[in-house]
A and B are shown apart, each in its own frame.
Chain A
Amino acid sequence: MMPYTYLLINFFTVIICFLASFDRRIQFNKLFGKFLLSSTIVAVPFIIWDIWFTAKGVWWFDLNYTLGAKIAGLPVEEWLFFYCIPFACVFTYYCLEKFFNLDWANVLNNLIVFTAVIFLSVTGILYYERIYTLLTVIVTIITLCYLHFIAQKEWLGKASFVYLLLMPGFFAVNGILTGSLIPSPVVNYNPDDFLGVRMGTIPVEDAVYGYSQFLLNIYFFKKITKNEK
């Protein structure tokens, strides 16, 4: 059973969303192709980052939890991760946007970007020698500033609110990967390369990096499905 752990995590992340996609009221199945395209655009830089950090030893995988096949140093399950997580996230955002009016959250766009830029910059300058922290901070600041000031997307607040709603799922998936509920972590982190602040077992950087990845997935998905607002 153990070698299937990571694969099962991916499987349970998508399965409910996948089945619900065929619901007559949702029909997300018609957008599968577009989702694959948009998530690939986002996955490329993030996978390169992942390959780099794995090679550098910032983090490493316990292969006992995987089937053993590797591509570019990453277990296949890790490659799947970059499609499974975005799938659940984009699907959730798509449904919530379809059935609820969450536009009220967009009033907080300026506030979110201002607070995040200050908080992340200070953290980045203070801990610049910790590479996971530094890169997470840089990527998130650039993502937020690009979406807010240059692309001028109105939905930042709404997306941030949905990200909050996704937190229980995030804690479940990332929690198990970082060692909650199982004897040892699937993903291990070099203590010199991140802050060492963990939420349960999850490094706080994971939540921030997940946020920028989520925002970029929404951005490209909207762009490709022309669901701009």
Chain B
Amino acid sequence: MNFLIVFGVCIFMEGATWLIHRYIMHGFLWCLHRDHHDHSHNGKLERNDLFFFIFASPAIALLYLGVKQEFSYCFFIGLGISIYGMAYFFVHDVFIHQRAKVFTKTKNPYFLAIRRAHKQHHKHLGKEEGECFGFLWVPVKYFKMYFNKK
């Protein structure tokens, strides 16, 4: 059961991420997300980094509550959010931005598709007219693009 909660939350988080990204980060909190797209911020600290804490806080609160309630479902929801966050950073940094020189020549159509979609999202410098707000799941056309090539 607990495993199901963690697993379910991870899937739910992809949807939530899409909604938050589409309507909040590209919505009323665009002021914080903007410098992630146009690199307009001169100082060292990107305002976008605040989202790191905005996403971490509910996980911390839920984990705390969950432990206090002798590992209630809150703990596992918090764990799910944390694991999604970890997966996010892992996939984003390792496969999409390839900050390490590993997997640079991957032919895996899934990774090629999410990388392509991520690039597409960053082509838009403005708040409106964005596309591909998802992260681990992107519009089907990108998957088709690479899976068909195979």
A interface list, Cβ under 8 A from B: 103-111, 113-115, 117-118, 121-122, 125-126, 149-152
Q: Of all chain A residues, which has the CB nearest B62?
A: A122
Say yes or no for B24: interface residue by CB 8 A criterion.
no
7 inter-chain pairs at a CB distance below 8 angstroms, sorted by A residue, are: A108-B90, A110-B93, A111-B93, A114-B52, A115-B86, A122-B67, A125-B64
A113 and B93 alpha carbons, distance in the complex (Å): 13
Indicate which residue in A117, A125, A150 contacts B44 across the interface (CB closer than 8 Å). A150
Selecting from B13-21, B98-106, B139-147, the interface stretch reads: B98-106
A46 and B85 alpha carbons, distance in the complex (Å): 32
- What is the minimal beta-carbon distance from A159 to any residue of chain B, in angstroms? 15
A-side interface mostly: helix
- What is the minimal beta-carbon distance from B131 to any residue of chain A, in angstroms? 24
A149 with B49: in contact, given A114-B86, A122-B63, A126-B64 (CB under 8 Å)?
Answer: yes
B-side interface mostly: helix
Residues of chain B with a CB closer than 8 A to A111's CB: 86, 89-90, 93
Say yes or no for B68: interface residue by CB 8 A criterion.
yes
- What is the total of A-B residue contacts with beta carbons within 8 Å? 59
Indicate which residue in B64, B89, B92, B101 contacts A122 across the interface (CB closer than 8 Å). B64
* Tier of interface size on chain B: 20 to 34
A109 and B102 alpha carbons, distance in the complex (Å): 15
B interface list, Cβ under 8 A from A: 44-45, 49, 52-53, 56, 59-60, 63-64, 67-68, 82, 85-86, 89-90, 92-94, 99-102
A105 and B99 alpha carbons, distance in the complex (Å): 9
